[in-house]
Chain A
Amino acid sequence: MPHRAFFGGTGVAIPETELHAYVDGQLDPERNAAIRRYLLAHSDTARRVRHYIKQRDTLQAAFAHVAMEPIPIQLNLQRMLQQRLAQQQPRWSVWRLAAGLVMAIGLTGAGTLTGWVLRGGSGGVPAIEAQASPIDRLLDEIADYHTAYARETIHQVEVPASQTAHIESWLGDRLHRRLHVPDLSSHGLQFAGARLLVVDGAPVADLVFHWPGKEHQPIALCITLAPGPDEPPRVAGREDLQQISWQRNGYAYVIAGWTDPATLQALASDLMPRLDEKT
């Protein structure tokens, strides 16, 4: 390409690109000093470099005001998350209910309703109940438990955080996996303790965390067995209680609490890789 790599035919080996790296502050200190010395001795080149620096500063000034404006409402990240939440969640729409009924009748007729969907519900499960997906049932149950236990003070957890080693072996045993209580102090959360919930006859480990001073608005991290394909995080809300859930490697994970969806998304992003059994 027609580009000068060297200066004005003088044969001095200062490549053009290195001068620009000098302008942009992208040289190491040693090379930076060498260019500086060169420029002190070569006024023509120095003038060009000054010009490039001036050019850069003028460009920065020309566009600076855009970045200083308040961010318009349509680019508000919180709002975008809320909109996504609203789109994701037609949980009880008439459509879904109808589709669920058809599904349930068809499946019950074939006698194939087994496994996680109806765990512990072998006899006479009403068709209307069977249409809720396992994860939706799990979310509903956890929301109920969490709301009830949040009011408690002494009995909010079954086993306190002081016995974390016991919690890990006990609940790990119930879930047939290694379980580590994650450290969420980077989110300002302290581990309070754990309890065992039962949903559809299956054990659910419920790890409870607090923000200091907000003991009655705990955050629950629930883990249970969930055979089935992996599912990406999905935010769901029930009145003011927010939940985020995902499935990975045969386990379902739910985080629940009275906080904004963004905080839950951040927690989920952080926890997803850390909660894999292998780690």
Chain B
Amino acid sequence: MYVPSISRTPARRSLAGREPGRDHDSPAKNILGTIEGCIPALRRYAAALLRDREAADDAVYQCLNEALDKLHTLQTDGDVKPRLFAILQHALAKRLAQKRFRPLDRAMPASPALAPGGKPGQDDSARQLDLMRRLDRLPEWQRCVLLLVSVENLTYGEAATVLKMSTSSVMELLASGRERLLQTDGAPPPEPGFA
């Protein structure tokens, strides 16, 4: 398939400023501080995939322990964030395979007060919950890619590293996952004005 030329320095990065886990400073940066800065995102990803907060934090705990074991290799090469997600992905794999049911709505209510642009209405919560339900019905890899790219802001290359697949596979899964979510969406189309 055709693979578009992906920018090496996407515009979003330069606007995003300092993100935890991206090595902007000297290589001798405090590695533990960097890992610590990634914990909220690791918890979010694990919770979104497993829909079980306790199991999610267990997976993050396992991930952090493994990261502490290989502190030295984490320090020496490249960005820490994608490699932490790769360790977490490994910890999640077994739990995902074991998962038989989803205590969805009770375990993970839609965010009540965090829609963009201030006070959310009932509509926003309902839309979030609806989208989460539809996300749950996607195949596992599509969900992983959608969450890593859309929610965790990883580049396609980074998501490919985390999931141990090619960048073009990531892009295909992303496109098919989003299309599937679109097809199952009963909501009216959004207002004009993309950007």
Residues of A within 8 A of B (CB): 1, 3-5, 15-21, 23-29, 31-32, 39, 46-69, 71-72, 74-75, 77, 80-81, 84, 186-187, 232-233, 262, 265-266, 269-270, 272-273
Residue-by-residue, is B15-55 near A (CB-CB < 8 Å gives 1, otherwise 0)?
00000000000101111110110011101100110000000
Given A26-B6, A56-B150, A61 contacting B116 (CB threshold 8 A): yes
| Inter-chain contact B1/A17, CB cutoff 8 Å | yes
* Known A66-B40, A66-B43, A273-B72; 17 more pairs at CB < 8 Å: A15-B4, A17-B4, A17-B171, A25-B11, A26-B12, A26-B156, A27-B11, A31-B5, A31-B7, A46-B192, A50-B192, A50-B193, A51-B182, A55-B181, A57-B116, A81-B68, A266-B30
B57 interface residue, CB < 8 Å from A?
A: yes
Q: List the B residue with the shortest CB-CB distance to A47.
A: B189
B75 interface residue, CB < 8 Å from A?
A: yes
Residues of B within 8 A of A (CB): 1-12, 26, 28-33, 35-36, 39-41, 43-44, 47-48, 57, 60-61, 64-65, 68, 71-72, 75-76, 110-116, 120, 124, 127-129, 131-132, 135, 146-147, 149-151, 155-156, 168, 171-172, 174-176, 178-179, 181-182, 185, 189-194
Chain B residue contacts of A59, Cβ below 8 A: 131, 135, 146-147, 150-151
Given A27-B6, A269-B31, A62 contacting B131 (CB threshold 8 A): yes
Number of A-B contacts defined by CB within 8 Å: 196
| Inter-chain contact A270/B75, CB cutoff 8 Å | yes
Minimal beta-carbon separation of B79 from chain A (angstroms): 16
Chain B residue contacts of A265, Cβ below 8 A: 32, 71
A30 to B1, CA, bound (A): 22
| Inter-chain contact A20/B194, CB cutoff 8 Å | no
A59 to B72, CA, bound (A): 35
Chain A residue contacts of B112, Cβ below 8 A: 65
Q: List the A residue with the shortest CB-CB distance to B170.
A: A17
Chain A residue contacts of B4, Cβ below 8 A: 15, 17-18, 21, 27, 31
